[in-house]
Structure 1
């Protein structure tokens, strides 16, 4: 059995390395096979998901598995306290820090790739099974479920309450001969072959979970999935990693669906809802206890004055049902039994 791993060079090219499972190599051996100049071996190191690895690390091992992606990075001179990076930070954290200080210097290509090739939560390379939320963010399902169960979801993802807020998706892997594509994309549109790397717009079909490019949906007019031929409607299309305007539209749709679901649940429990507000629990005849039904479907609150006998003084009759009578006197904080004007 072969072990296949990917190596991202300092120039952001992705190389594919095939190793026999019977081979026992170290990362130093792998480094020497990739670097033409032996004197430069000590000037580079390997990292896995932002974590530096020792040159003596053996291949294979439980940490570096099949289809893992290693980054070959140059060493930075200097020790602790000199303001240099340690190499332990994730690429996403570094990009955020750099974007705040020098927004004109950030590598937009690197930012784009990080968003499309990695999990939005763990920043690890995407690997199936994958899911998206209702805003079009893409995740490794295992990482998202673990964070949700451990109540460690960041604020921007707290709209995800359970499995019902996740949509299982099916990514189409690029065939082996194209796995070393520039930009490091591993997935593609199954219809057009466009790479899943942020250069093209992609949609997820909620009913079946297939990911297809906008170009495929535009060129082939169909109300059925182009992969599995399952029927879908326009509202089943969800854009992946959309623009700010598209995310705002998805958020509004999510809030509308949430409000609709809440209203339906309240109606099932017998709670009358008027203009999105609770009006109390309904009886079998559709009215509240001691209440009157309004013409607009609402319920009028019970008032003793409305049912006073014909010859009764309304204020006196109402006092039977109230605990106190309003006065113009104000009580002092020293003694509530001595209102001002009475002592």
Structure 2
């Protein structure tokens, strides 16, 4: 997926930084001693990351998935980026340990002084879409794990494996990847009615309508792994300024029609307004009941997939798809 960190919903998906119990008086990084499996070196597009010993103070500096992976792999987070799309700044599938203190700063770029004061021995930044500019500063503070293929281009299995390698937990990372793939396969097998059905999916806000036009989009991959196929009408649409997504004019809502129509909304008000549009009401999929409305949280879970967000999205989306396709049959 190639998608600007601020480009998920109508070109904007803000982020802020959350300080997780890591004042400057916190413990210093552990003395580096010889440990089986270390030092470990993980190659990346901007440079290799060499970690000398098991990390005990980890900063998740990327947009969303660095935090997910740190939590999933049991890293000791001391500083983490948080997404303003969520009321508490943290995705519902990501749970910080009990008693963690938090403090927010504005989204004006990475607060390098705070990161340095946290005394990390590893910085996770594979989900930092501004990493080309941040790399030298971050890597001067601590070993920094960036992306392999490019901003937003590493798949969730690769991100999991690389983070696991840097943390010295390659087996745990491999197990997580297998667990999530097994869950995806299980949902597909439980719903053979999904196979071959066409879909359209995209975010709708008060002022804009988008739909996926690329099978390489992360959300398109999410649905295709369940057996669905991107609508041919959507696949030929020109991309907007957000790669993988086409903007739909108010007069061409017919381009959204498919065996099942899936839309995520940025607010209940946007949904109410859009659903009251006569052109929307006249779509065959809507008339059949083959329509799945989702909130922004689920849209983000699919657009920025991780070993934590994918199971969360599957549990919500799969039953809704099954109901919609049954109605539309």
TM-score (norm 1): 0.28
Which has the larger helix fraction? Answer: 2
Structure having greater relative contact order (Cα 8 Å, sep ≥ 6)? 2
TM-score (norm 2): 0.29
